[in-house]
A and B are shown apart, each in its own frame.
Chain A
Amino acid sequence: EVQLVESGGGLVQPGGSLRLSCAASGFTSRSYWMHWVRQAPGKGLVWVSRINGDGSSTTYAHSVKGRFTISRDIAKNTLYLQMTGLRAEDTAVYYCATGDSHAFVIWGQGTMVTVSS
């Protein structure tokens, strides 16, 4: 079964750091670009970041550039999002998704990040 499973979410204080993971199974994720998309409570989807197949190229939304770093471990079939300088407005469910034809094809179930003191 093709599946993405996120982990690593939790409660963190403003200014803190957190690393999210997204484990892929049932397929070789390195064949795909991978994305992080977030959704604040009661709000819409927002694209956060993407990485290409071999991890050599990344892009970020303006709101997270310089604070978040996307990476992937091809051997472990796992995607990461290192988040630093966290702010209250980063509070959201974070989804990982595979990318193909400029669409988000396979989605994980999401992991909740809460930034609060």
Chain B
Amino acid sequence: QSALTQPPSASGSPGQSVSISCTGTSSDVGGFNSVSWYQQHPGKAPKLMIYEVTKRPSGVPDRFSASKSGNTASLTVSGLQAEDEADYYCSSYAGDDTWLFGGGTKLTVL
């Protein structure tokens, strides 16, 4: 059960777009359409931003989008805003009713 691989950091200026990758294997990310993404501000609980690879829960801005190709999933934040600065985590179902998280990416809005 190895963690999914995310870049430790990403950054962009207000209004720009930034993408965060999440790499797993054919046993997790590549094997299921069950990748989700979470936003976590310092000292706060995580918040679901994307589920089932591309779906946004009610209330999540459409500036947040996601995709998957093979064993790698990606989250894209368009029109960056100051409040988007946070840690972002991907997660994938890994079979046998187990789940994996990525190591997290710190997004900085310059």
Residues of A bordering B, CB below 8 Å: 35, 37, 44-47, 50, 57, 59, 61-62, 95, 100-105, 107-110
Q: Which residues of A contact B3 (CB under 8 A)?
A: 44, 46
Residues of B bordering A, CB below 8 Å: 1, 3, 32, 34, 36, 38, 40, 45-48, 51-52, 55, 57, 89, 91, 93, 96-104
Q: Which residues of B contact A62 (CB under 8 A)?
A: 1
Bound Cα distance from A45 to B40, whole angstroms: 10
A-B contact count (CB 8 A): 67
Between A and B, 14 residue pairs with Cβ closer than 8 Å are: A44-B3, A44-B101, A46-B3, A47-B99, A47-B101, A59-B98, A101-B51, A101-B55, A102-B32, A102-B51, A103-B91, A105-B48, A107-B47, A107-B48
- Which of B40, B48, B98, B104 is within 8 Å of A103, CB to CB? B48
CB-based contact A105/B57 at 8 Å: yes
Chain A binding surface SS class: strand
Say yes or no: A104-B52 contact (C-beta < 8 A), given A47-B100, A57-B97: no
Q: How far is the CB of B66 from chain A (nearest CB, A)?
A: 12
Q: Which residues of B contact A45 (CB under 8 A)?
A: 38, 40, 46, 89, 91, 101, 104
CB-based contact B98/A47 at 8 Å: yes
Bound Cα distance from A50 to B3, whole angstroms: 17
With A45-B40, A107-B48 known, 8 other A-B pairs at CB within 8 A are: A46-B3, A47-B91, A50-B99, A57-B97, A61-B1, A62-B1, A102-B36, A103-B52
